[in-house]
Chains A and B, each alone.
Chain A
Amino acid sequence: MQYKTKGNKIFNVVNIFILTIVSLTCILPFINLLAISFSDSAAVSAGAVGFVPVDFTLSAYEYALKGGKFLRALLISFERVFLGVGINLILMILTAYPLSKTRKQVTGRSVYMVYFVITMLVSGGMIPTYLVVTGLGLKDTIWALVLPGAVPVYNMIILMNFMRGIPEEIEEAAAIDGASPFQILVKVLLPVLKPALATVGLFCIVTHWNDWFSGMIYMNNPNNYPLQTYLQTLLQSFEQLLRSSQGAQDIQALLVQMDARTGRAAQLFLGAIPVMIIYPFLQKYFTKGLVLGSVKG
């Protein structure tokens, strides 16, 4: 498609050069952390670990994986992400579609819009939300983690704008054939919206995956913590112990076991790996050129 001019060639080389440098700066901290997580805590506490593990050890991982808690938490996280993102996607699609229409097409559209946007700006805070969730009897169930954030308004607005970008002709053709809005949404729009859905889907996955706070406040037993909450507790309690040894007669064993930083690094990897694995799969959709042109004719 591009002309093979000299200028173009130089541009391509420079472009790849810049992207390489920037990408490297992005990956180096990650390698550093990987090295730390596999290094002996003694070397880490001396600040001696660069990009290669020193005195290779798996102890930080063993510590985190010990006792089967990790796997249980991982399963809970998977359950949460599947359920949560599924609900997120359905609700986002269902709300974004009517809102992508004009005021003439959907009466009261602006009212709906204001209704949703307000929730992005004001929040009741932790306590009243907690009271609502417990009032519904959701406390200590997976629904407490999934339902309060069921409609991610921010992502829904992004999706809505993607929907607006789709040429009207596509829908009109289907409408003339007698398709109902539901049918148009499912049969015509969704296939075209794959990249957009992959994008907002990724954001939803990351949000659900990384949220540790709601697990902390809604679960009554640490055995029901999702992964990030569990990993957070490993970290936090460890740092609490470090900070206040006041009378805590049981810290020394832990302190010797691992350094806070190796623990953190291991946590990061264990916690991030599943999302990082998903990422390339979704990416296929980001870069795949959209086939809008073919519909036009």
Chain B
Amino acid sequence: MKKLKRQWQYHLMLLPGVILIFIFAYIPLYGVIIAFEDYNPALGFSSPWVGLKNFEYIFSQPAFLRTIWNTFFIAVAKLIGGIVVPVIFALLLNELVSNRLKRIFQTLIYIPNFLSWVIMAGVLIDILSNTGVINQFLGIFGVGPVNFLGNASIFPWTMIVTDIWKGFGFGTVVYLAALTSIDPGLYESAILDGATRWQQIRYITLPLLMPTIILMLVLALGNVLNAGFDQIYNLYSPIVYQTGDIIDTYVYRLGIEQAQYSVGAAIGLFKSAVSAVLVLTSYILADKCAGYKIF
């Protein structure tokens, strides 16, 4: 009886969220049918039905397949780096004794997050040019000049590194917040047992951080086919299409700007399907192998 009463309250809490999600996320879902139509806004959702034509069209484009590979490569590398780097920095920051320093560094590394890619691209093109700061620095060691943005085999790596650099402050904040929830008593007793700093990280911090890491990983997987439109669109050029063109930039050039809503919807559906599979797989893997339930 008492349990039922408690239950009732839980469901009441969920109600507002469920209703709002239904109105603003589920009702609009009928819009995915335009992926199977030759959508004409004036005719609305009863536009001519074309079946899988939009999908066939996209996949028949010779340049589309390479964009899938590019998207996966760039996205997965960003994903891995986007986990490893912030974790390392969260640990480094956590090791700082001075709280003030900790706070200053944390603020500074978060700053690039406030800069949009349009802005950042302008700066990066300067820094990475043949006469830019980076190449001048490499010149000291007799390397280069490296054409970071104009060489097709280097371009994806430039995207990966700059993206991680721009975003790691965000992840670091999440991991730091998770670190604060670790019971300091654990470290105290570890130190009493004579554990080194590395051993503390290895046996206390990392294991306790693992659920957050896996959580962030799975959430990021849902996003894996968005390899960073804003970034790449502002930095790429025809000479690096071979390795740098991703699904979103390609679809953009296919004319989504010219209101090709049906093609856009078809691509969206394709991406949803892939990310659903990825998220589901990783969820099961995390559950079976590591015993973490993310959702």
User: When chains A and B are docked, how far (Å) is the Cα of A289 from the Cα of B176?
Assistant: 10
Find the B residue at minimum CB distance from A112: B14
- Choose from B10, B115, B185 the contact partner of A33 (Cβ within 8 Å): B115
- CB <8 Å contact, B294 and A180: no
B294 touches A290 (CB 8 A): no
Distance of A101 Cα from B127 Cα, bound (Å)? 50
Contact A125 B177 (CB under 8 A): no
Chain A 19-46 interface mask (CB, 8 Å, partner B; 1/0): 1101111110110110000000000000
Contact size class for A? 35 or more
How far does the alpha carbon of A210 sit from the alpha carbon of B31 in the complex, in Å? 26
* Residue in B closest to A209 when the chains form the complex, CB atoms: B114
Q: Which residue from chain A places its CB closest to the CB of B23 in the assembled complex?
A: A132
Contact, CB under 8 Å: A150 / B24 = yes
Pairwise interchain contact A29-B110, C-beta atoms closer than 8 A: no
Residue among B7, B17, B92, B272 making CB contact with A107, cutoff 8 Å: B7
Chain B residues with CB below 8 A from A128, complex form = 27-31, 45
Q: Give the complex CA separation of A101 and B9 in angstroms.
A: 13
Give the docked Cα–Cα distance between A108 and B19 (Å): 16
C-alpha gap A265/B114 in the complex (Å): 12
Q: Does A292 contact B (CB under 8 A)?
A: yes
Most chain B CB inside 10 Å of its own CB: which residue of A15, A122, A149? A122
B77 at the interface (CB under 8 A from A): no
Report chain B residues within 8 Å CB of A290. Answer: 180-181
Q: Are B108 and A265 in contact (CB under 8 A)?
A: no
* B41 is an interface residue with CB less than 8 A from chain A: yes
- B104 — which chain A residues lie within 8 A by C-beta? 23
Chain A residues with CB under 8 A of B114: 268, 272, 275-276
B290 contact set on A, CB distance < 8 A: none
Q: Contacts of A117 on B, CB cut-off 8 Å?
A: 279, 295
Choose, from B53-61, B116-124, B241-249, the stretch at the interface: B116-124
Are A15 and B92 closer than 8 Å at their CB atoms? Answer: yes
B interface: dominant SS: helix
Q: How distant is the Cα of A119 from the Cα of B181 in the complex, in angstroms? A: 29
What is the CA–CA distance of A16 and B110 in the complex, to the nearest angstrom? 17
Residue of A nearest to B268 (CB): A125
Q: Are A289 and B116 in contact (CB under 8 A)?
A: no
| B192 nearest CB across to chain A (Å) | 11
B261–A30 contact, CB under 8 A? no
Asked if B219 is at the interface (CB within 8 A of a chain A CB), the reply is yes
Residue of B nearest to A97 (CB): B13
Q: Which residues of B contact A23 (CB under 8 A)?
A: 104-105, 108-109
How long is the Cα–Cα vector from A112 to B187 in the complex, in angstroms?
A: 38
Given contacts A1-B188, A26-B169, A129-B28, A18 and B92 within 8 Å (CB-CB): yes
Q: Find A121's partner among B105, B169, B275 (CB 8 Å cutoff).
A: B275
Using Cβ atoms and an 8 Å threshold, which residues of chain A touch B126? 47
User: Bound state CA distance, A163 and B191, in angstroms?
Assistant: 28
- Kindly identify, within residues 26 to 40 of chain B, every residue whose CB is under 8 Å from any CB belonging to chain A: 26-32, 34
B93 near A: Cβ within 8 Å?
Answer: yes
Interface size band for B: 35 or more
Instruction: State the Cβ distance, A42 to closest chain B Cβ, in Å.
Output: 17
> Is B264 an interface position by the 8 A CB rule?
yes
B229 within 8 A of partner (CB): no
The main secondary structure of chain A at its interface with chain B is helix
A148 at the interface (CB under 8 A from B): yes
Flag B181-218 by CB within 8 Å of A: 1 or 0 each.
10111011001000001000000000000011001000
Cβ-closest chain B residue relative to A285: B177
A121 to B115, CA, bound (A): 26
Contacts of A124 in B (CB 8 A): 25, 27-32
Binds A, one of B68-76, B94-102, B140-148, B150-158: B94-102
A161 close to B (CB within 8 Å): yes
Q: Is the beta-carbon distance between B41 and A127 smaller than 8 angstroms?
A: yes
CB-defined contacts of B268 to chain A, threshold 8 Å: 123, 125
A213 at the interface (CB under 8 A from B): no
Q: Taking the complex as formed, is B282 at the interface, i.e. its CB lies under 8 A from any CB of chain A?
A: no
Once the chains are docked, how many angstroms separate the CA of A192 from the CA of B104?
25
Given known contacts A132-B24, A265-B119, is B177 in contact with A196 (CB within 8 Å)?
A: yes
Asked whether, in the complex, the Cβ of B9 is within 8 Å of the Cβ of A182, the reply is yes
Contacts of B197 in A (CB 8 A): 2, 8, 11
Contacts of B95 in A (CB 8 A): 11-12, 15
A246 on the interface (CB 8 Å rule)? no
Complex formed: what's the CA distance from A26 to B104 in Å?
Answer: 12
B115 to A2, Cβ gap below 8 A? no
Contact present for B28 and A161 (CB under 8 Å): no
Q: Give 26 pairs: A residue, B residue, CB < 8 Å, sorted on A.
A: A2-B191, A18-B92, A19-B93, A19-B105, A27-B108, A29-B123, A29-B127, A99-B14, A116-B21, A119-B21, A121-B222, A121-B279, A124-B32, A129-B24, A132-B23, A132-B24, A149-B24, A153-B21, A156-B17, A157-B219, A157-B295, A161-B212, A165-B181, A199-B177, A288-B180, A292-B183
A sample of 8 more A-B contacts (CB under 8 A), given A125-B268, A272-B114, A290-B180, is: A25-B165, A33-B119, A112-B14, A124-B30, A125-B31, A127-B41, A136-B23, A290-B181
